[in-house]
Amino acid sequence: MRLGVIADRLVLIDGETAVDLEQASKGRFPADPAQLFDRWEALVDWAATAELDGEKLPLTGLQNPVPAPRQVFGIGANYRDHLAEASGRTMEELEEFLPKDPLIFTKFRNSLAGPADAIPLPSRDVDWEVELVVVMGRPAERVSEEDAWSHVAGLTVGQDISERVLQMAGPAPQFSMGKSFPAFGPMGPVLVTPDSLDDPDDLELGCTLNGRVMQKSRTSDLIFSVAELIAYISTVCPLLPGDVIFTGTPAGVGAFRKPPVFLKPGDTLVSWVKGIGELHNPVIAGHSYTDEGTNS
């Protein structure tokens, strides 16, 4: 099943068209994306056999499919090649420095945005991080790795946009603040259930900046897999339906390039996970943006 949101209403996607969920289900399921997970299992059962008649809508104007999660988790240093570039170590040197547990932060909810929304820059130190995003479908408290996927509603594409100076400022890093400016969490374009993908643990993901490939990897290279992340987080924070997990980014971010590359007004950032879809985010100057910054 592929679900989206158009004009603030839930839609079911069938190829290149969509049908309004509330209309197609004759009112059985809601239009409001905030209520998507109230009857998630009934929706999955119904959609498996439903005849999707009703007005066919063009697949345009897709919005964030999960605009109001109760909790948003982010994972740092979760691909070996990204940890190597960030730490300046070779892949061989890396093995003894691998984290023993996932590194967790939050993106505050107001940073979430849609798949085509503009990203306003607060400074000249803003970077990209394409990520697979997991959306929970059932509560998960102290779940095992074996059971973890059964609690997932679906997957989508995310960008964990990051202001690197604030992220690393102070005596302890400020990951959650540096990654939570407005529109620093574009998501979408659709929510895809895991059964719709050949192997939800091995998906190609990547991003281009102005057409140039900056990141390209596979989720099979995650240090902590989706199941391991859910099991670990749920030992501390019970996960709720609709909660969102940004699972980490592979190598190729701007800050560790030589010389570094950061986002500028006028850029276009395209991010994809194969089998799910693409984000197309234009980059614009924010209110506090000036041409003077820490990089030149």
| Residues at the contact surface with Zn ion, assessed by CB under 5 A | 129, 160, 249
DSSP at 138:
S
DSSP string spanning 242-284? T-EEE----S--STTSSS-----TT-EEEEEETTTEEEEEEEE
What CA–CA distance (Å, rounded) separates 70 from 67? Answer: 10
Number of neighbours of residue 211 by Cβ within 10 angstroms: 7
| Closest residue by Cα to residue 278 from 156, 126, 182 | 156
Minimal distance, residue 246 CB to Zn ion, in Å: 6
Minimal distance, residue 17 CB to Zn ion, in Å: 33
Measured from the CB atom, the residue of 37 and 175 that comes closer to Zn ion is 175
Minimal distance, residue 134 CB to Zn ion, in Å: 13
What sign for the dihedral angle of Cα 190, 200, 212, 75? Answer: positive
Minimal distance, residue 82 CB to Zn ion, in Å: 9
Measured from the CB atom, the residue of 20 and 160 that comes closer to Zn ion is 160
Minimal distance, residue 165 CB to Zn ion, in Å: 16
| Closest residue by Cα to residue 283 from 120, 60, 83 | 120
Measured from the CB atom, the residue of 144 and 220 that comes closer to Zn ion is 220
Q: Residue 79 in contact with residue 221, Cβ under 8 Å?
A: yes
Q: How many secondary structure helices (H) and strands (E) does the chain include?
A: 8, 18
Q: Write down the residue that tokens 């995650």 correspond to.
A: 222
Q: Residue 31 in contact with residue 10, Cβ under 8 Å?
A: yes
Measured from the CB atom, the residue of 1 and 166 that comes closer to Zn ion is 166
Measured from the CB atom, the residue of 62 and 132 that comes closer to Zn ion is 132
Residue nearest to Zn ion (CB): 160
Measured from the CB atom, the residue of 24 and 72 that comes closer to Zn ion is 72
Minimal distance, residue 131 CB to Zn ion, in Å: 6
For 81-113, letters b (16+ CB in 10 Å) and e give ebbbbbeeeeeeeeeeeeeeebebbbbeeebbb
Measured from the CB atom, the residue of 63 and 159 that comes closer to Zn ion is 159
Minimal distance, residue 251 CB to Zn ion, in Å: 12
Measured from the CB atom, the residue of 52 and 94 that comes closer to Zn ion is 94
Tokens of 217: 């990897």
Ramachandran category for residue 87: left, alpha or beta (phi over 0 → left; psi -120 to 50 → alpha): alpha
Minimal distance, residue 76 CB to Zn ion, in Å: 6
